[in-house]
Amino acid sequence: ILNNNQLANSDFLTGAFPAEYGNATSGVFDLKMRNGNNEKNEFLGQVGFNGFELGAEGPISKKNGSSYLVNYRYSTLEFFDLLGVDFGTGTAIPKYQDGSFKINLPRTKAGSFSVFGVGGKSDISFLESEQDTTDKALDFYSGEGFDLINGSDLAVLGASHTYFYNSTTYSKFTISGMYHNFHTEMDSIVPETYEILPYFGNSHKEYKLFGSFFLNKKINSRHTLKGGLTFSWMQYDFVDSVYNDDFNRFDVITEFDGNTTLIQPFVEWQFKINNDLTLNSGVHYQLFTLNDSYNIEPRLGLQWAFKSNQTLSFGYGYHSQMAPVTVYFNQTRLPDGSYYQPNQDLDMTHSQHFVLGYDWYINSSLRLKAETYYQDITNAGVDGHASNSYSILNQGANFYVWTPDTLVNSGTGKNYGLEFTLEKFLNKGLYYLVTASLYESKYKGSDGVERNTAFNGNYVFNGLIGKEWNLTRDPEKRKNKQFTLLVDIKTTLAGGQRYTPVKVIQTGPNSYVADYQQEQAYSKQFDDYFRTDFRIALRQNNKKTSMEWAIDVQNLFDTQNIYGQSFNSKTGETDYTYQLGLLVIPQFKIIF
């Protein structure tokens, strides 16, 4: 919902992140919404691939520095579809609209206040009933024999208060409320008559009240303490059901209407041992009141600035994460027709991170970073009734992952690798970024066999370079009318997506079924992923307006990157489906 026109500098933390963050085992993306311009009013109009966008910002009172920021966006993808642009998604065209606002009051007698809100709605339909599947497999995410409609509604409203007690002590309190509704409808299609029959439906409604508070105290030049509490009250209304052919009825999979709480206090201590050596330590505590599971998580970070422009660092973190909420409320039908929820006592997944890093500022505009890490995962949810390859660690790799009705915390996993980053900050119109990541990602299911996770691509290389040219003759004399040409190119090369091999079984004339070889889960890998994007833009800065015309070419070389496989039950063939090919997107942006 938030886009780059609304974001301030945000933190993306991986590895052993600080004690104030919890309920995560891999990483944290701490998004920060920027304040509006507190000196002059500005208005934004933009048309591009990400939608029609309108925005406004400006001062509420120049005297106290208060400001407002408002933004609205509406999808353009349906419009492009009407023009005949093929997105490679078959009948599926995302439809969405969203809006956001922020009011910032930085200088009041009671401290600094801000009020913010975001909201949006979206839906996408995968309709096989509107496709010709006589002799070909389906496109992209479609499931053969089904019409699928997914939708989501989200609203967040919150406020924060920051207060400086003195020059060494300050606190921040944030409170927010959230509503989220994710709903799905799936209809089956009778092959002979193409009659559409209800098959599956769900409605997952979540209401959340969130509060956080921390107090930061600088004791002296060497010691700083920070402590706080995060409190999340969650109300859920989940229901979904699937049609049972054997008994000609709908069976409830998940049904829950109730609430639970996640409580997360933390404390952090920074100790500057000397001018070169800094110790950051802390403890995070996490309590999930649904089943009273809890975890005490120590964190440790050590930085050694052995030269003025070079630093060595070590980090350790013990982390835990809840399972996806719906897993706790999976229901199993008993012979007497009643239901029970076997996963109510499922514990959190645990993870230990070890990170060693090197940071070198080669000069004022060039930086080199290197990092090696190891992550040991325990207590992961696996099948509690059968010995197989399922693990909750693969959740999220696909739109749908089958989940056993009963899970136990006996799964394990590990991730380890090397990462390198060379970053050239904007200097004399030039910037670039090169990253390389080599890694392994493994897991064990209830059968105890070590396998690749669904995310084990083994490597990722990224390259980005951009250049800006001032085209204005005698720019010092023409400050009110400047033209700038901007060109950048971005390339990604990554290991292919993992998948499970399929055994095709013929069940009759022109009738086949796919038997996924779960004992070989994620043993196969698609071809490597390669994509290059190119962008050229002309920016005109006038005294009161700024305009930008751009051409964004995605997948410049029209590389056929595999998204997945689709199985055709009429021919028995397993075909590839592909991601987005070459796409040229004109863009226009005006700020006044």
For each of the domains in the chain, give its residue range(s) and CATH number, in order of start.
276-456 (2.40.170.20)
pLDDT band at 305 (very low <50, low <70, confident <90, very high): very high
pLDDT band at 294 (very low <50, low <70, confident <90, very high): very high
How many CA atoms does the CB half-sphere of 508 hold within 13 Å?
1
pLDDT band at 139 (very low <50, low <70, confident <90, very high): very low
Q: Using the predicted structure, report yes or no on whether residue 135 has a pLDDT greater than 80.
A: no
307 token code pair:
């030269």
Among 41-55, 300-314, 550-564, the minimum mean pLDDT is found in: 41-55
The values of phi and psi at residue 136, to 5°, are: -145, 160
Sign of the Cα torsion 375, 378, 380, 382 reads positive
The pLDDT of residue 510: 80
Compute the distance between CA of residue 437 and CA of residue 166 in angstroms, rounded to an integer: 44
Residue 353: what residue type? Answer: H
Q: Using the predicted structure, report yes or no on whether residue 486 has a pLDDT greater than 50.
A: yes
Look at 330 and 454; give whichever has higher pLDDT. 454
Compute the distance between CA of residue 523 and CA of residue 389 in angstroms, rounded to an integer: 11
Look at 355 and 131; give whichever has higher pLDDT. 355
Summarised one tens digit per residue, pLDDT across range 23-52 is 998 888 888 899 999 999 999 999 876 678
Look at 494 and 472; give whichever has higher pLDDT. 494
Among 117-121, 146-150, 327-331, 534-538, the minimum mean pLDDT is found in: 146-150
77 token code pair:
């993808």
The pLDDT of residue 482: 87
Contact 110, 163 (CB under 8 A): yes
pLDDT band at 566 (very low <50, low <70, confident <90, very high): confident
The pLDDT of residue 408: 96
As a whole number, the mean pLDDT across the chain is 88
The pLDDT of residue 85: 65
Compute the distance between CA of residue 494 and CA of residue 461 in angstroms, rounded to an integer: 6
pLDDT band at 401 (very low <50, low <70, confident <90, very high): low
Look at 512 and 180; give whichever has higher pLDDT. 180
Compute the distance between CA of residue 225 and CA of residue 168 in angstroms, rounded to an integer: 11
Among 55-59, 191-195, 302-306, the minimum mean pLDDT is found in: 191-195
Residue 318: what residue type? Answer: Y
The pLDDT of residue 138: 43
| DSSP single-letter state for residue 564 | E
Please name the residues in contact with 17: beta carbons below 8 A apart, sequence gap of 6 or more: 24, 27, 28, 299, 317, 319
Summarised one tens digit per residue, pLDDT across range 425-484 is 999 999 999 999 999 999 999 999 999 999 999 999 999 999 999 988 776 666 667 899
One-character DSSP codes across 36-102? PPSSS-EEEEEEETTEEEEEEEEEEETTTTEEEEEEEEE--HHHHHHTT---SSTT---EEEEEEEE
Over residues 136-161, mean pLDDT: 74
Q: Across the strands, what pairs with 338?
A: none
The pLDDT of residue 141: 46
Over residues 408-412, mean pLDDT: 97
